[in-house]
Structure 1
Amino acid sequence: MQSPIIGTKRRSSMKKIALCWVGAIIGIATAVVAWSELMSGDRLVYAKQKQRAGGMTTLSGDVRRPAHYVPGEVLVKFRDEASSSRITSLNVDMGAKELSALSMNAAGVHQYKLDGALSVEEAVLKYRGNPAVEYAEPNYLYSLQAIPTDAQFGTLWGLHNTGQAVNGTAGRADADIDAPEAWDISTGSSNVTIAVIDSGIAYDHPDLAPNIWRNPGEIAGDGVDNDNNGLVDDVHGWDFLMNDNDPMDPVDLNPGGNGGHGTHVAGTIAGAGNNGTGITGVMWTARLMALKAGGVDRSLSTTGIISAIDYAIKKGARVINASFIGPECSLVFYDAVRAANDAGVLFVAAAGNGGDDGIGDDNDSTPNFPSNFSAPSVCAGQQTAALANVIAVAATDQNDQLTTFTNFGATTVQVAAPGIGINSTRPTYRTERVPTGQPRSPANRA
């Protein structure tokens, strides 16, 4: 398959780019884009936007890909000149009650729970029509892009491909990221912190524990918010799904779920190198910040994601890894990634793995987010500029070709990296690899 990505992904210059920065995030899973049944709870419930007016989806405008969002919740940003009394009056009319579990108010965004008198679509449209409102949207859900694993450096073809057979399939020599050559220059630095927004990280895994970030302002287990950030004992990060201080990645008990997703991604990024056990990450000593925003159901809400981004920025992460996608361009999400850009934080995002047919889509014509924030977009009717800190990554196979399932885009995808049959860590303290036939963990993650 000919690469439609800008330039030629086989160029050495492209490989150097992937090595320097994207290589650090190379483990962001870009797997099947399939919405699994979500946990039946108030925070995560499967919901499809109702189609109206001749089958047109009212908010997304795309009947082919109905939006998914948290039922009964809306996100609203008011204009600076809007008075508190006007905001209160409007919310009363909407039957909206503010939720205070998330720290987004610095960006002027408010999360509301509706009383049921209005549907999410009706409330969003009414908010948008009020002159006091800058924008309003549902609390969209985004889907994790699955992953694989195994051990032994000899099987890590994405790092060093000698043409060895993986899953019974031989590759093409040097169809890799030239990791050994890069390690001759540097094996990474403990001064670089990479925030992994995902299903959590098994931070006690032998191949990950040496590289897990530790909050320098927090004393573990004392029950005190030592760094005064509103979060008690956030030693290794935070669980924005359950709103607690344990971002541990669950063992996947659901065959269709994604428990272990974040752990696999983390191992590919920074599994401890040269320690005589398990696998080796691209960066041997980088620090991994565990920011849990999703679980075994594959779903992450906008509010969870942007809270994690805010945390990563404030705690000094240099890179944010995002291995999830969704069809909706969220202005709230865009503002959060723009804040990361303003703070000098690199945001590496999976290009995605196509639709239910398992065939990759052209992101130029079928946008997916957050990867499409790397190009100009239209969010909720507003034009947004490309964000320079966003790198969208597609997946390649052992023969240096784009995988059949990976998304691509001449103007929306910047680089490609190994993304199938990738070995990495799992919460059960073993390593695994997803079978070649399953488009799981593309090394093409950000």
Structure 2
Amino acid sequence: MRKLFIALGFAFTLGFAQAQTTEVPKEKWYHAGVEQTGIYGVNTDQALQFLKDNKRKANTIVVGVLDSGVENFHEDLKANMWSNPKEIPGNGIDDDKNGYIDDVHGWSFLGTAKGINYNDDTTEVTRIYKALSSKYATFDQKKDQAAIAKNPSEYVEFQKIQKEYLSAVGKAKYNQQVAQSKLNAIEGGVNKMVLEFGDTKLTKDILKNYQPTDSQILEALWIFGELKEDQWVGKMMKEVSNTYLGAARRAAKGDALSSHLNLDLVDRKDVDNPNDKKERFYGNGDSNGPESSHGTHVAGIIGAVRGNNIGSEGTVGGNNVKIMSVRTVPNGDERDKDVANAIYYAVDNGAKILNMSFGKPYSPDADLVWDAFKYASDKGVLIVKAAGNSNEDIDVHVHYPTNFRNGNIVSKSVLTVGASTKDPNALKARFSNYGKKSVDVFGPGQEIYATYPGVDQYRFLNGTSMASPAVAGVAALVWSHYPKLTAEDIRNILMETVNKNDQLKDISVTGGVVDSYKAVQKAEEIYKQRKLK
């Protein structure tokens, strides 16, 4: 049985029949306090005031962001990026003898020692299909029948995987053809609008009063109904074109067919030997990588610089955090071997909290990850991870990596996070996974504004990928001010002090959204009980 470390007496219940909310800037809503505004944010400012009143000073804390990479030179992140103090940048020497050459801001397990980065990868379904199809789709009836007789349960699994993989291939081919038709229909008109508008920044009034006479432009104007306003208002048409047509061209190329479903990419031997499960030291020091949008956004939610009057602010609430980037997640499913090694790297190099905003439905080498979970737990490290975005009950449909091994909990310092919204009357984000056993808490995860690649860029994004770092930042806020607590203490505190709501009670362990103010109150209480200073 799973043990729940929850002091229910300290939990707070706030149920609204039809909750009223106070207006909060949309860029900052996830910092709001529910008692003041009616919005279930993480209550950052009230937590900071409490810490100030109690004269609690912040200690530096390192948070490992295991993701696609982080733009370490972003204007709102660079001051809070972790730097390896014992590594001399660019000298090609492993100065600190940790096995990783020039790991200045972290490490990438998605590249070669020669600096070639790997971005596109397959899904786990593709990898499993390739492995099993060599046994059961040989088109030699005698061989197939002999293999089936030897392992009938594996053949049943192959049938399931084959159906899933080939269905995905068929869907990808259809989507590619649709995307090509769409591109053919709008490309000429969009390019003409680029010439007509020039350097003019678009507004709703400009578009409303725009009267084109060219038929191609008229046929392409509908794209503004598809785009969100923040994707074009205040931007030049050439910016809109680059973004929109860029995505359309990628879709027309058939990205899924060339990457996710590409059987030729399964054996990633240009990076490492994927079949060597014990291999640890591969990759390179480029912890930014070729495409770091996801990881940069995640990093900003945790630790964007506070008080610089630009961009966004992290839920850690200050500049006492250092973000360590460990590039783990490609354009495709992360590999279990990379996840395990990323955990080992981050733990061994000083991270106290790891954020893992990724997941997948299959995990053939889950044992590697579970062993790494246990390693992190034994070293006193907290793992915060996303629940996933399939709107599924992950008690039933497992979302990997999971903290359950054969039904038993692996680590007492892993926290799984679902996504909540700023609407108290529809608190669970519609995409968020849930689970009475498998999702511990909820955190803000819809329309979250944070850093984005481009030095001075910011975006609104949705996902449990955003909820997880919102909670990881809260964990860092608490732990940096109360450093004598353990990883298990921090996990328990966050779970015990959620703002409960009936909408979440049957779909998560705690039934609530994390609140940093109530968390620091509880941490202060524990410090006094244990006579800690």
Alignment of 1:38-437 (within 5 A): 155-160=27-32, 173-186=38-51, 189=58, 191-242=60-111, 243-251=283-291, 259-283=292-316, 284-285=318-319, 286-295=321-330, 297-329=331-363, 330-354=366-390, 360-370=391-401, 372-373=402-403, 376-378=404-406, 384-400=408-424, 401-428=427-454, 429-434=456-461
Name 2:155's counterpart in structure 1: none
1:192–1:178 CA distance, 2 compared to 1 (3 A): same
* 8 Å CA contact 1:418, 1:443 repeated in 2: yes
Q: Which amino acid aligns with 2:460?
A: R
Query: In 1, distance between residues paired with 2:99 and 2:51?
Result: 37
Once the two structures are TM-superposed, the CA of residue 443 in structure 1 deviates from its matched residue by 2.1
Q: 1:442 to 1:228 in 2, by over 3 A?
A: closer
SS of the residue 1:324 aligns to: coil
- How far apart in 1 are the matches of 2:349 and 2:5? 35
Q: 1:439 Cα shift?
A: 4.9
Change (3 A) 1:440 1:306: closer
Change (3 A) 1:229 1:386: closer
Amino acid at match of 2:458: T
More strand by share: 1
Shift of 1:221: 2.2
Contact 2:361/2:400 (CA < 8 Å) preserved in 1? yes
Contact 2:31/2:44, CA 8 A, preserved across alignment: yes
In the TM superposition, residue 216 of structure 1 has moved relative to its aligned partner by: 1.6
Structure 1 residue 393 displacement after superposition: 0.4
Q: CA deviation at 1:246?
A: 1.0
Measured at CA, do residues 7 and 344 of structure 1 come closer, stay the same or move farther in structure 2, by a change above 3 Å?
A: closer
Paired residues, number: 274
Contact 2:304 2:313 in 1 (8 A): yes
What do the CA deviations read for 1:147-203 (whole angstroms, capped 9, x no partner)?
xxxxx9762111126899xxxxxxx63321111111224598452100000001000
Q: Indicate the structure (1 or 2) with the bigger Cα radius of gyration.
A: 2
**Contact (CA 8 Å) 2:449, 2:458: kept in 1 or not?**
yes
Give the counterpart letter for 2:304 in structure 1.
G
Two-structure CA RMSD over aligned residues (Å): 2.9
Would the alpha carbon gap of residues 201 and 225 (structure 1) be closer, same or farther in structure 2, given more than 3 Å must change? same
User: Deviation per CA, 1:391-411, whole angstroms, max 9, x where unpaired?
Assistant: 000000112411111111111
Within 1, Cα distance between the matches of 2:5 and 2:418?
Answer: 13
Deviations 1:91-140 (A, max 9, x none): xxxxxxxxxxxxxxxxxxxxxxxxxxxxxxxxxxxxxxxxxxxxxxxxxx
2:273 alignment counterpart: none
C-alpha offsets along residues 239-285 of structure 1, whole Å, 9 cap, x if unaligned?
1100111111534xxxxxxx400000000000010111111001122
Indicate how the Cα distance of structure 1 residues 323 and 441 shifts in structure 2: closer, same or farther if over 3 A, else same.
Answer: closer
How far did residue 223 of structure 1 move? Answer: 2.1
Query: Could you tell me whether the CA contact under 8 Å between 2:108 and 2:285 is conserved in 1?
Result: yes
TM-score, normalised relative to structure 2: 0.48
Q: 1:186 to 1:279 in 2, by over 3 A?
A: farther
Match of 2:429, SS? coil
Distance 1:331 1:202 in 2: 31
Question: Which segments of 5 or more consecutive residues in structure 1 lack a partner in the other structure?
Answer: 1-5, 16-151, 165-171, 252-258, 355-359
Indicate if the aligned counterparts of 1:271 and 1:280 stay in contact, CA closer than 8 A. Answer: yes
Q: Which residue of 1 aligns with 2:181?
A: none
Note if contact 2:74-2:453 (Cα within 8 Å) is conserved in structure 1: yes
Instruction: For 2:338 and 2:440, locate their aligned partners in 1 and report how far apart those are by CA, in whole Å.
Output: 26
Structure 1 residues 11 and 403: CA distance shift in structure 2, 3 A = farther
Which secondary structure does the structure 2 equivalent of 1:433 belong to?
A: strand
Distance in 2 (CA, whole Å) between partners of 1:421 and 1:11 is 32
Residue 334 of structure 2 aligns to a residue in which SS? strand
Shift of residue 228 of structure 1?
A: 0.6
CA contact (8 A) 2:30 2:422 kept: yes
Give 1 or 2: higher helix fraction: 2
Q: Is the 8 A contact 2:298 2:466 kept in 1?
A: no
Residue type of the alignment partner of 2:305: A
- Residues 246 and 11 from structure 1, CA distance in 2 versus in 1: closer, same or farther, beyond 3 angstroms? farther
Alpha-carbon separation, structure 1, partners of 2:45 and 2:10: 15
What does residue 200 of structure 2 align with? none
Change in Cα spacing, 1:396 to 1:248, as seen in structure 2 (3 Å) is same
Deviation at 1:419, TM superposition (A): 0.5
For the residue of structure 2 that corresponds to 1:289, the secondary structure is strand
Following the alignment from structure 1 to structure 2, what is the Cα–Cα distance between the partners of residues 343 and 163? 37
CA distance in 2, matches of 1:265, 1:444: 8
Change (3 A) 1:314 1:439: closer
TM-score (norm 1): 0.57
Report Cα offsets for 1:271-327 as digits up to 9, x if no partner: 0101111110011220100100123x1432111111111111111110010001122
Asked if structure 2 preserves the Cα contact closer than 8 Å seen for 1:196 and 1:262, the reply is yes
Cα distance in 2, alignment partners of residues 290 and 363 from structure 1: 28
